[in-house]
Structure 1
Amino acid sequence: MKKKLFQTISIVLAFSLINSPLFACTGITLKSQDGGIIVARTVEWALSDAQHNKILVVPRNKNFTGQTPEGFNGKKWKGKYGFVTLTAYGQNYGPDGLNEEGLYVGVYYLPDFAEYSDYDPTKAEKSMSVGDLMQWMLSSFKTVEDVIANLDKIIVVDVKNEKFGGADLPFHFKIADAKGNSKIIEIVNNGEVKIYDPYLGVITNSPTYDWHITNQRNYLRLSNIPNTPIEFEPYNLKPLGGGSGLIGLPGDFTPPSRFVRAAAFTATCRPLKNSIDAVFESFRILDNFNIPLGAQIPKDHIPKGISSATQITTSSDLKNKVFYFHTMWNRQIRKIDLKSIDFNTVKEQILDDDAFKTNNIKDITPN
């Protein structure tokens, strides 16, 4: 009976995984003692190689036109600020971006909950796609306060983009600035905009953000303090090792479990002296969220062309305007210093440091 039940569960699980490609991302925020603000995240996209490792550099004063279901007839604007952004499938937007003023915009998957406005042709001049929304924020504003104050001036509509790996584009956003301000933006219920204060700077995926906050109430006793030994004559029971206060911390890769785990690691983070210390700590924490392909996808349905579900991990230093990252192809941390870019003269271009798609190994074997 147990064997049949296990087989049934396995079949149902495999079917759900085959029909639900893995789009799982985890975001955190760390602060250093010198006033540094570090916003970091993983990008999981186990559909195919989305080319998230290719980074677009966008100059100041670029002219943009928003996309609607009718084409490129949406909101027009001229960008004030230059920025860098991850890409996806050759599109000019992706999961993560940082502008020259230190404004960060992160895009996270929100399937079954994100719902944009129905397109009204009479309001085309205010309309844009969800990808345009990311570019509009990065190119137009330098603070979270400015973004929130202007959200009522645009309408995000559903635009099918077959070039985006064939996937739907239900997203929510985490934005942050160099002052330490941050918000979560969700568009639900046919265009209703909801704004939340991030809980410890953490974000994952579905359900909506308010659900995750409620779910945190199930984990109030988690602690980095070891459990106290208990004596039952003639036994004296002690914890078996370090970390006993976090027994019950969920270890699976679902969005609710990753949210709880990311919040726990953020809350217990050691003191961080400066920004670069926080950058490296963000990568250490996010190593706990790397998802091997085989962990969530049956062997006979693993997509070709990628070596990991976690295609890229980024860490943005908002105070110093530096964008750090490593990828599934190369675990070496690389950086783009936005302060060193003249966004008035730089040409729009793609940076691809993974052309050979080879992880380097340094041989230090003694002779």
Structure 2
Amino acid sequence: MCSRIQWKANGQPVLVGRNMDWTARMGTKLYAMPKGIERDGLVDETPLKWTSRYGSVVTISWDCATADGINEAGLNGNLLYLAESNFGQRDPSLPGISIALWVQYLLDTCATVAEAVAAARAWQVQPFELVHQGVKADAPLHLSLSDATGDSAIIEILDGTPRIHHGPEHTVLTNSPIYDEQLVLLKQYEGLGGKKPIPGTMEAEDRFARGAFYLTKLPEQPESYQAAVAGVLSVIRNMATPLGANDPERPNIAATIWRTIGDCTNKRYFFEFCDMPNVIWVNLDNLDLSEGASVRMFNLAADMEAAGEVSSRFQPAESIDFQKANTAVTWQPAA
């Protein structure tokens, strides 16, 4: 499931597009998280503890996990599925954090990709249990990061150890195989080092190739900000899986159910459900993210006429009860 791209044109902001692909609804909502919130990493031994230094707007799935978001410093984070993820045995000598809070911790505490990368080896991520088609599995996820300078990082956890690819050249991410292997496969395609035509299937390596190829086709000088955002949308939508195209045996092949664009430069966050024509966005400067402000929530699924800038539609909400590591997600869609 999932695809991510990063793009910056001359005179335009750093823009990050991502698709969320999954076989069922996820109860997805947007939350405004103010600075000054005290959090716990939600593991049994030596949990990581922190107080948020930056406010953020995040996408919460299953009412218990931050899947995506951007903070007021312009750091953008995206969780994507990676079947090869292996979080290893818990080492209580390291502070631990539930994967439900992986993105949230970095948005709470870091302004740049470099800061996030420096922190990534200082503590240990632990999964919670997902239930997919009735089968339990440790949440096999990897992470992409972007910031307002155009820096980028991909973080995979393989055999219990973070494997980090850091640099602005890391502009595309999908799912299996692991990132090193994706880069090798990419070289076989026309315009990317090889002679094969660009593939069109729903496989993760094919979506990876399409994203890399079509990023090279965007104009070097978009006519406007709107054209730049539309260009990123045109590429990330090209990497989508159509509604209804689910493989019940393979979470890697699932319909794209929602999509975001993070503007790291202007601190703006776009969101759309793929079964609705509305595109909404939030200017973080229009939200009160100061210490002591309330957590606020916007639910597009319950406000189906919303479009454009929606910061005024956020309503006070309870804090998220994030999923503890090594416990099973019990969320069910409303009838």
Aligned to 1:181: 151
Aligned to 2:266: 320
Tell me which amino acid in the other structure corresponds to 1:290: A
Which protein is richer in helix relative to its size?
1
Report the CA distance between 1:33 and its aligned residue: 2.3
Tell me which amino acid in the other structure corresponds to 1:314: T
> What does the per-residue CA deviation read over 1:58-110, in whole Å, with 9 as the maximum and x for residues that have no partner?
11010010022x38x6111111001111111111412x110011000011110
Over 3 Å counting, the alpha-carbon distance change for 1:342 and 1:128 in structure 2 is: same
- Partner residue of 1:150 out of 112, 115, 119: 119
- Partner residue of 2:239 out of 263, 271, 289: 289
> What does the per-residue CA deviation read over 1:326-349, in whole Å, with 9 as the maximum and x for residues that have no partner?
112422211010011221153112
Instruction: Tell me how far apart the structure 2 counterparts of residues 329 and 346 of structure 1 sit (CA, whole Å).
Output: 33
Aligned to 2:78: 106
> What does the per-residue CA deviation read over 1:21-78, in whole Å, with 9 as the maximum and x for residues that have no partner?
xxx11111121321411001111111x21023x111111010010022x38x611111
Are 2:153 and 2:170, in contact at CA under 8 Å, matched by a contact in 1? no
Note if 1:267 corresponds to 2:244.
Answer: no
Instruction: Tell me how far apart the structure 2 counterparts of residues 79 and 274 of structure 1 sit (CA, whole Å).
Output: 35
- Partner residue of 2:293 out of 346, 353, 360: 346
Tell me which amino acid in the other structure corresponds to 1:181: D
Are 1:37 and 1:275, in contact at CA under 8 Å, matched by a contact in 2? no
Report the CA distance between 1:186 and its aligned residue: 1.1
Report the CA distance between 1:290 and its aligned residue: 2.7
Over 3 Å counting, the alpha-carbon distance change for 1:248 and 1:122 in structure 2 is: closer
Instruction: Tell me how far apart the structure 1 counterparts of residues 230 and 15 of structure 2 sit (CA, whole Å).
Output: 10
Instruction: Tell me how far apart the structure 2 counterparts of residues 204 and 219 of structure 1 sit (CA, whole Å).
Output: 17
Instruction: Tell me how far apart the structure 2 counterparts of residues 358 and 246 of structure 1 sit (CA, whole Å).
Output: 46
Are 1:56 and 1:92, in contact at CA under 8 Å, matched by a contact in 2? no
Aligned to 2:277: 331
Note if 1:127 corresponds to 2:73.
Answer: no
Aligned to 2:88: 117
Tell me which amino acid in the other structure corresponds to 2:56: F
Instruction: Tell me how far apart the structure 2 counterparts of residues 119 and 58 of structure 1 sit (CA, whole Å).
Output: 29
Name the SS of the counterpart of 1:118 in structure 2: coil
Instruction: Tell me how far apart the structure 1 counterparts of residues 210 and 64 of structure 2 sit (CA, whole Å).
Output: 32
Higher CA-based Rg: 1
Are 1:67 and 1:159, in contact at CA under 8 Å, matched by a contact in 2? no
Over 3 Å counting, the alpha-carbon distance change for 1:247 and 1:156 in structure 2 is: closer
Are 1:330 and 1:354, in contact at CA under 8 Å, matched by a contact in 2? no
Tell me which amino acid in the other structure corresponds to 1:155: Q
Are 2:69 and 2:77, in contact at CA under 8 Å, matched by a contact in 1? yes
Report the CA distance between 1:262 and its aligned residue: 0.6
Instruction: Tell me how far apart the structure 2 counterparts of residues 204 and 93 of structure 1 sit (CA, whole Å).
Output: 18
Instruction: Tell me how far apart the structure 2 counterparts of residues 138 and 327 of structure 1 sit (CA, whole Å).
Output: 23
Report the CA distance between 1:314 and its aligned residue: 0.8
Instruction: Tell me how far apart the structure 2 counterparts of residues 359 and 320 of structure 1 sit (CA, whole Å).
Output: 22
Aligned to 2:228: 278
- TM-score (normalizing by structure 2): 0.81
Q: Spell out structure 1 runs of 4+ moving beyond 6 A.
A: none
Instruction: Tell me how far apart the structure 1 counterparts of residues 163 and 76 of structure 2 sit (CA, whole Å).
Output: 19
State the identity as a percent: 26
Aligned to 1:137: 106
Aligned to 1:86: 59
Aligned to 1:226: none
| Root-mean-square deviation (Å) | 2.9
Name the SS of the counterpart of 1:294 in structure 2: coil
Report the CA distance between 1:269 and its aligned residue: 1.1
Tell me which amino acid in the other structure corresponds to 1:75: L
Deviates more, 1:273-282 or 1:79-88: 273-282
Report the CA distance between 1:209 and its aligned residue: 0.6
Tell me which amino acid in the other structure corresponds to 2:205: P
Are 1:329 and 1:357, in contact at CA under 8 Å, matched by a contact in 2? no
Name the SS of the counterpart of 1:270 in structure 2: coil
Map 1:46-65 to 2 at 5 A: 46=23, 48-52=24-28, 54-65=29-40
Are 1:329 and 1:354, in contact at CA under 8 Å, matched by a contact in 2? no
Map 1:189-338 to 2 at 5 A: 189-197=159-167, 199=169, 201-221=171-191, 248-271=197-220, 272-297=222-247, 309-338=255-284
> What does the per-residue CA deviation read over 1:220-247, in whole Å, with 9 as the maximum and x for residues that have no partner?
4569xxxxxxxxxxxxxxxxxxxxx997
Are 2:19 and 2:256, in contact at CA under 8 Å, matched by a contact in 1? yes
Name the SS of the counterpart of 1:136 in structure 2: helix
Instruction: Tell me how far apart the structure 1 counterparts of residues 218 and 5 of structure 2 sit (CA, whole Å).
Output: 11
Q: 5+ residue gaps in structure 1?
A: 1-23, 224-244, 302-307, 361-367
* Aligned pairs, number: 301
> What does the per-residue CA deviation read over 1:242-289, in whole Å, with 9 as the maximum and x for residues that have no partner?
xxx997210001110000011000011123244432111111222222
Which protein is richer in strand relative to its size?
2
Aligned to 1:11: none
